[in-house]
Amino acid sequence: MMKKSNAFILSLALLHPMVTTMAQKSGDKELLMRQEAKEVISSMTMEEKLSQLMNVSPGIDRLNIKPYDWWNEGLHGVGRDGRATVFPQPIGLAATFDEELVRQIGDAVATEGRAKFNVAQKMKNYSRNAGLTFWSPNVNIFRDPRWGRGMETYGEDPFLTGTLGTAYVHGLQGDDPIYLKAAACAKHYAVHSGPESTRHEADIHPTKRDLFETYLPAFKMLVRQGKVEVVMAAYNAVYGEACPGSSYMLTEILRNDWGFNGHIVSDCGAVNDIYGGHAMVKTEAEACAVAVKAGLNLECGNTFMAMKSALDQNLLTEADIDNALLPLVMTRLKLGILKEDKDCPYNEMDEDVICCDKHTDLAKRAAVESMVLLKNDNNLLPLNKDIRTLYVGGEGATDIFSQMGNYYGLSPRFSSYLQGIMSKVSNGTSVNFRPGFMLVTPELNEMNWAVGDAAEADYAILVMGNNGNTEGEEGEAIANGTRGDRIGIGLPESQMSFLRRVRESRMGSGKSGGLVVVLTGGSPIDMREICKLADAVVLAWYSGQEGGLALGDLIFGDANFCGRLPITFPADVDKLPALDDYSMRNRTYKYMTDNVMFPFGYGLNYSRVAYADASLADAKSVSGVKKGSPLLVKAVIRNYGKVAVDEVVQVYLASPEAGRKAPNQQLVAFKRVRLAPGSEQTVEFSISAELLETVQEDGSSKLLKGEYHLTIGGAAPCTRSRELGVSLSSFIFKL
């Protein structure tokens, strides 16, 4: 590393000897880069400067700067750029509750992205999606199950979202002290989670408590702990200011309070919304000025074509342009791609890493850890591989689009759910597959042999649910009449009708059990009737390229379920607040008191884990909390089953004002623990003092005096958790 640093310093010596000497003495590499960035900017003409402020940035031959398109996606693999490993959708990754796994996936995405970038550069492919600025992760809060883009997030909890989002950022950006492997982006900042149909004009006025308790913590974690390089400003307005033109959001909070020093990009077309959808100003030039003065650096779009007019009207100065451009040049220097940079350690990343065996194995591990077992009557699962007859139905059993989610890459290998099942059953097992039903429309033929096939088989597996045509982003969900959001969360009648007919026919043929439902999708589904009709229910999410093989392992017992819900499944969506209501009242596990079908953090396995003896691990840590020291807690967990299990141990805190001026409870820690059959383990946690603070009405945080309830267990504590038999252990301590 020392050799590289010296070479880097030497390369800058001709730019500014005095600054170089200072940097050599202080070891401040960023100072050197910043000086180089300023030198580059000062060498540009005004026309050249303006050309670099939009996502499609042309090359500047005389400065040896190549063309670059900042728009690239890496949500769960390199996206929209051809061959790449496809990992589970982020909502599925959230279900793993596995911080290290998510970091490793981020690293794999950056590795493949670097390799693809190196090849593309040699081909002179400077197009969209061929760069290294990945506009991921999405750390918006999935506050309402009807939002179509909730699948892109890590669920409804700010702490889980921030923890996993930070891990992904660390993986993407790497650990080199000078260079970024790739640049991660925290999006969409902020208070953004539907409806899709009004996102270009919605003006949201959350309470300051909701803002700082729910909508901002994950972004803050990514900035302060993750050192994320990019933040994307959302389409919507907050407190009357469009996000890409909000000085309160971009400068006061993001830069001044949190110390963010990367660059800020608009969501695509969001600068246009400043004068269009939100009508904050009357012209494109004024929109340019508002955005730049608020702190925006880069536009995804072309409204900044009017920047010259803004300058001519004295709405902006050249100094404003230079200030906006500096973080962008810095990002390209950190990536080692502004000009040829021989010191960048990622220049020779070989393309053999793309879709390599290591990444394939990681994708399968993620798919296995993500799937959630919601019901398993009479221990129907795991199935015996030597079953006599089996029926598999549903378009999703063979349609790999039901495994992709959105913002996906294209792998040369995808294992469908049917393939995964067939990889496990005995050669003597008779298996019949018919789709049986259409995803969103009823079958037109009055005859449907699939019903009989399903009724006669010893076991039937139906793959039902949603795909990217029925839920997703504005303009993508082409089978959806509300631009990707859902009015309700029930499955289409075509699917439910087939499930009813299969259940009825199996009962008529004397087979009262043996019906397994596998659900695809990225958001909660109305489970009330499904759970009455099915004997076992598996939530597979959008499981990525290895989803089929992962499902086969789980259903036939070669792996144990360990996924947990990162979002509450409500019983009745009609009892929820309106989708466009951004108040957190009666939303998520933190504020819902009833109407819960499956609680946050819930998931079954092939064993039985019990919790006991939750307590302080060190009684002295209570007094230290007031001085900023962490709280130390512990609990004993025991596996009473005959198989090993990965248990997701969760810690929930209720403050003295819980249920009144604070959440009913909130997640403050979690850990995956491997338990052998019959084994017992004491699990300890160190909980940051900051997480014990309660957000006040003005948005400030305060450590309250009084009794705190702390619960350690297998899901969020609530009445429904206890009805489902979730093991919980609690204690009270005072501050």
**Of the residues 598, 618, 640, the one at which a domain ends:** 598
Q: Are 85 and 112 in contact (CB under 8 A)?
A: yes
Q: Domain for residue 166, yes or no?
A: no
Q: Indicate the pLDDT class of residue 15, thresholds 50, 70 and 90.
A: very low
Q: Are residues 665 and 574 in the same domain?
A: no
Q: Are residues 562 and 701 in the same domain?
A: no
What domain count does the chain have? 3
41-92 pLDDT per residue, tens: 999 999 999 999 999 999 999 999 999 999 999 999 999 999 999 999 999 9
380-402 pLDDT per residue, tens: 999 999 999 999 999 999 999 99
Q: Domain for residue 311, yes or no?
A: yes
* Residue among 91, 169, 192, 96 at smallest CA distance from 405: 91
636-684 pLDDT per residue, tens: 999 999 999 999 999 999 999 999 999 999 999 999 999 999 999 999 9
352-384 pLDDT per residue, tens: 999 999 999 999 999 999 999 999 999 999 999
Q: Are residues 417 and 550 in the same domain?
A: yes
Tokens of 557: 């017992």
Q: Are residues 462 and 408 in the same domain?
A: yes
Q: Are residues 581 and 655 in the same domain?
A: no
Q: Is the pLDDT of residue 128 over 80?
A: yes
Q: Domain for residue 711, yes or no?
A: yes
* Residue ranges making up the domain that contains 719: 609-734
167-219 pLDDT per residue, tens: 999 999 999 999 999 999 999 999 999 999 999 999 999 999 999 999 999 99
403-423 pLDDT per residue, tens: 999 999 999 999 999 999 999
Exposed/middle/buried for 243, CB within 10 Å: 0-12, 13-18, 19+?
A: buried
Phi, psi of 194 (to 5 degrees): 95, 170
Q: Collapsing DSSP states into helix, strand and coil, what is residue 653?
A: strand
Q: Domain for residue 279, yes or no?
A: yes
**Per-residue CA distances from 79 to 75, 97, 182, 714 (Å):** 7, 23, 14, 34
The domain that holds 381 is classified in CATH as: 3.40.50.1700
Q: Are residues 618 and 723 in the same domain?
A: yes
How far apart are the C-alpha atoms of 307 and 320, rounded to whole Å? 11
Half-sphere exposure of 193 (CA within 13 A, CB side): 30
**Of the residues 598, 630, 658, the one at which a domain ends:** 598
Q: Domain for residue 29, yes or no?
A: no
Q: Domain for residue 399, yes or no?
A: yes
Higher-pLDDT residue of 403 and 9 is 403
Q: Are residues 566 and 636 in the same domain?
A: no
Least confident interval from 80-89, 437-446, 606-615: 437-446
Average pLDDT value over all residues in the chain: 96
Q: Are residues 195 and 267 in the same domain?
A: yes
Give residue 582's pLDDT.
Answer: 98
Q: Is the pLDDT of residue 240 over 60?
A: yes
Q: Are 5 and 32 in contact (CB under 8 A)?
A: no
Q: Using omega within 30 degrees of 0 as the cis cutoff, is the peptide bond preceding 359 cis?
A: no
Active-site residue set: 267
Within 10 angstroms of residue 410's Cβ, the number of other Cβ atoms is: 17
Q: Are residues 450 and 524 in the same domain?
A: yes
Within 10 angstroms of residue 64's Cβ, the number of other Cβ atoms is: 10
How far apart are the C-alpha atoms of 170 and 64, rounded to whole Å? 30
Q: Domain for residue 333, yes or no?
A: no
Q: Domain for residue 627, yes or no?
A: yes
Q: Indicate the pLDDT class of residue 581, thresholds 50, 70 and 90.
A: very high
Give residue 21's pLDDT.
Answer: 52
Q: Are residues 580 and 628 in the same domain?
A: no
Within 10 angstroms of residue 508's Cβ, the number of other Cβ atoms is: 9
502-552 pLDDT per residue, tens: 999 999 999 989 999 999 999 999 999 999 999 999 999 999 999 999 999
Give residue 80's pLDDT.
Answer: 97
Higher-pLDDT residue of 10 and 370 is 370
Q: Are residues 454 and 563 in the same domain?
A: yes
Q: Are residues 319 and 382 in the same domain?
A: no
CA angle 541, 155, 466 (to 5 degrees): 30
**Of the residues 302, 328, 354, the one at which a domain ends:** 328
Give residue 28's pLDDT.
Answer: 82
The domain that holds 692 is classified in CATH as: 2.60.40.10
The domain that holds 318 is classified in CATH as: 3.20.20.300
